[in-house]
Amino acid sequence: MKIITFLIAFGLMLNAANILEEIDRKLTPVSAQMYKKLINIEPDGSKKEFLLFQAKKDKDKMVSLFLEPDSEKGRATLRLGDNMWLYIPNVGRPLRITSMQSVVGGVFNNADIMRLDFSTEYSVVKEEDKGDSLLLELKAKNDTVSYDKLLMQVNKKTLSPIQIECYTSTKMLIKTLYYKKPKDFGDGIIRPSIVETSSPMYKGYKSIMIYGKITPKEFADEAFTLDNLENASDLRH
């Protein structure tokens, strides 16, 4: 009886892991290039906007290049697994940054902006059927991940996130991400084009991420190195 119970539990764990992999693939191809706009809205209504080009390879590599505003143009960030760096033109070597910091300010942190596959950082520890949606409880695989726990509400039909609540290890809600406006980006990529966030820690502030283009593309491993970060603009060609 114990063996049967174990096999059922093991099967459910595999199924949950597969679901998370499918969610990842619905959001972005394994390797791709994309353009996104970040908008930070202050309590007084003022806005600051950033335009980024991003190159993603496999499940653990990403480069982001700032295209706008002019004051940020040429800056680039590199993410390799849990490690992140910021390159600023005319400032020597790239600087180490952390996942909980934000290179743009606002509510999105660096891990939100340079999002890797969820299945890379998290394991599904609980799955609950909510009718039209699934509620997945995700636990960080190690303590370097920016959020200890995620509660992810997923559309059962499209396997796209609806909203994600992000918690610390002390069960404090850091922020909620809202996935909106599904869009067909071509190449079989149909996913929410807008991610909005609110946070009890940033009352009155709001940040929005708008995806413009997402295209499958292969990149060489050499593109994702500190030595190549100053040449990040070459990835757009």
Can you give the three-state secondary structure of 169-186, one letter per residue? CCCCEEEEEEEEEEEECC
Q: What is the pLDDT of residue 13?
A: 45
Q: What is the pLDDT of residue 143?
A: 87
* 231 Cβ neighbours under 8 A, 6+ residues apart: none
pLDDT cut 70: percent of the chain above it: 93
pLDDT average, residue stretch 65-91? 94
| 49 within 8 A of 37, measured Cβ to Cβ | yes
Q: What is the pLDDT of residue 8?
A: 41
Q: How many residues does the chain have?
A: 237
Q: What is the pLDDT of residue 18?
A: 86
pLDDT of 159-175, one tens digit each? 999 999 999 999 999 99
| 197 within 8 A of 177, measured Cβ to Cβ | yes
- For 24, the 3-state DSSP assignment is helix
Q: CATH top-level class for 2-236? A: mainly beta
pLDDT of 171-217, one tens digit each? 999 999 999 999 999 998 999 999 999 999 989 999 999 999 999 99
Residue 6, pLDDT > 50, answer no
* 172 Cβ neighbours under 8 A, 6+ residues apart: none
Q: What is the pLDDT of residue 160?
A: 94
| Sheet strands (E) in 2-88 | 32-41, 47-57, 61-68, 76-80, 83-87
Mean pLDDT of the chain: 91
Q: What is the pLDDT of residue 17?
A: 65
* One-letter amino acid of 185: F
Looking at the whole model, is its pTM more than 0.85? yes
- For 125, the 3-state DSSP assignment is strand
